């Protein structure tokens, strides 16, 4: 007992993972409230306005924030805007949903089979390093200029992140939980249902969040490249504005795209934070 030695013989059994709830230091209420966000907006607007005032580019190419907000108000009042936004959101939700289904299925299959995992793991990582916009020419060639080409690229962009979220989630499940599951008599699917999947949930959510970001980017790239007659979407509007030299409209649509992305991200963060709080991993 006086010699604190460790030997290999203890290792296989002594793999308890002490889940000491690492409490991040509680920042001041000020730093976590809405004030930093407001501050960020003010800084961006100020820089923008200063660049406009400097006269670097003429007003019709780079309008100031006031002009753009006025244009935004004008755009939002038109039913075409809402149709375009609606079409884009439907595509985003459908593409992301499909990516979640395929990514989750692939991730779970790969997590349960060592061979499949070795094969799919590197494939998924490889796919992730490839900018999804690269797939568009091929998608258009194979599927034509249409919805399916956009869906194809959105799913391809998002699914690897979702699958990765599943894989890293299952990897991070403490060995002690697997031992516990066996001691409690949870085998096979029940082990996954009651222990592995809930334990992997935070990682999975991270994968979903990242998958959404990729889906959104792929979709915007797709809508810039693929114009379907009679089905105008947000990205198309952006392209039109550039072609017509409508700088204020272009910036207004950029703001809309930014806000949609931020709202979705805030939604994911809220869910993730809530789950972490319930597990004692985050400060309330």
Partner 1 sequence: MTAAASTASGAAVSERGRLRLSGVSKVFGRGDAQVVALEGVDLDIAPGEFVAVVGGSGCGKSTMLSLAAGLEQPTSGTVTANGGVALMFQESTLLPWLTAAQNVELALRLRGVGKDERRQRARELLAKVRLGRHVDQRPHELSGGMRQRVALARVLAQESAIVLMDEPLGALDAMTRDQMHDLIESVWQEAGFTVVFVTHNVREAVRLADRSILMGSRPGRVIHAQPNTLPRPRRLDSNLLVEMAADLTRRLKEEVAVHDDADYFTI
Phi, psi of 120 (to 5 degrees): -75, -35
Query: Which residue in 264, 235, 231 sits closest to 250, CA to CA?
Result: 235
- Is there binding between residue 9 and partner 1 (CB under 8 A)? yes
Task: Classify residue 218 by burial, with Cβ atoms within 10 Å: 0-12, 13-18, 19+.
Answer: buried
Instruction: Determine the interface stretch with partner 1 among 55-63, 111-119, 178-186, 207-215 (rule: CB under 8 A).
Output: 178-186
Tell whether residue 22 is a contact of partner 1 (CB under 8 A). Answer: no
Site string for partner 1, 201-220 (x = CB under 8 A): x-------------------
Burial class for 168, CB neighbours closer than 10 Å (0-12, 13-18, 19+): middle
> Is residue 180 close enough to count as binding partner 1 by CB under 8 A?
yes
Pick one of 42, 90, 184, 266: the residue that binds partner 1 (CB under 8 A): 184
Size of the site for partner 1 (CB under 8 A): 40
Nearest to residue 234, comparing CAs of 253, 260, 214, 213?
253
Q: Classify the C-alpha dihedral 281-164-136-230 as positive or negative.
A: negative
Q: Which of residues 40-99 bind partner 1 (CB under 8 A)?
A: none
Task: Pick the binder of partner 1 from 27, 79, 185, 188 (CB under 8 A).
Answer: 185
- Kindly state the smallest distance separating residue 201's Cβ from partner 1, in Å: 7
CB 281 → partner 1: shortest distance, Å?
Answer: 8
CA angle centred on 240, ends 235 and 245, rounded to 5°: 130
Q: What is the DSSP letter of 231?
A: B
The residue from 37, 51, 176, 283 that contacts partner 1 (CB under 8 A) is 176
Binding of residue 188 to partner 1 (CB under 8 A): no
In sign, the C-alpha dihedral spanning 48, 54, 56, 59 is positive
Contacts to partner 1 by CB under 8 A = 1-14, 16-19, 21, 174, 176-177, 179-180, 182-186, 190, 194-195, 198-199, 201, 275, 278-281
């Amino acid at each position: 007992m006086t010699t604190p030695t460790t030997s290999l013989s203890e290792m296989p059994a002594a793999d308890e993972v002490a889940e000491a709830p690492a409490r991040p230091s509680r920042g001041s209420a000020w730093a976590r409230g809405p004030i930093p966000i407001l501050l960020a907006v003010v800084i961006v607007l100020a820089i923008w306005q200063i660049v406009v005032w400097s006269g670097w580019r003429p007003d019709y190419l780079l309008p100031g924030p006031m002009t753009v907000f006025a244009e935004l108000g004008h755009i939002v009042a038109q039913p075409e805007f809402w149709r375009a936004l609606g079409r884009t959101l439907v595509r985003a939700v459908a593409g992301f949903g499909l990516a979640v289904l395929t990514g989750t299925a692939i991730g779970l299959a790969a997590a349960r089979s060592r061979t499949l995992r070795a094969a799919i793991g590197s494939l998924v990582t490889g796919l992730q390093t490839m900018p999804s916009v690269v797939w568009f020419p091929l998608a258009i060639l194979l599927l034509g200029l249409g919805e399916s080409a956009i869906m194809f690229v959105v799913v391809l962009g998002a699914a690897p992140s979702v699958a990765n979220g599943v894989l890293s989630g299952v990897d991070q499940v403490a060995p002690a939980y697997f031992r516990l599951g066996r001691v409690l008599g949870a085998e096979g699917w029940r082990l996954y249902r009651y222990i592995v999947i809930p334990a992997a949930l935070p990682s999975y959510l991270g994968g979903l969040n990242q998958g959404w970001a990729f889906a959104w980017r792929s979709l915007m790239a797709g809508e810039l490249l693929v114009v379907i007659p009679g089905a105008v979407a947000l990205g198309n509007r952006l392209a039109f504005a550039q072609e017509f030299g409508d700088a204020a409209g272009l910036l207004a649509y950029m703001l809309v795209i930014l806000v949609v992305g931020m709202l979705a991200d805030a939604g994911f963060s809220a869910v993730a934070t809530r789950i972490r709080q319930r597990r004692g991993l985050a400060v309330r």
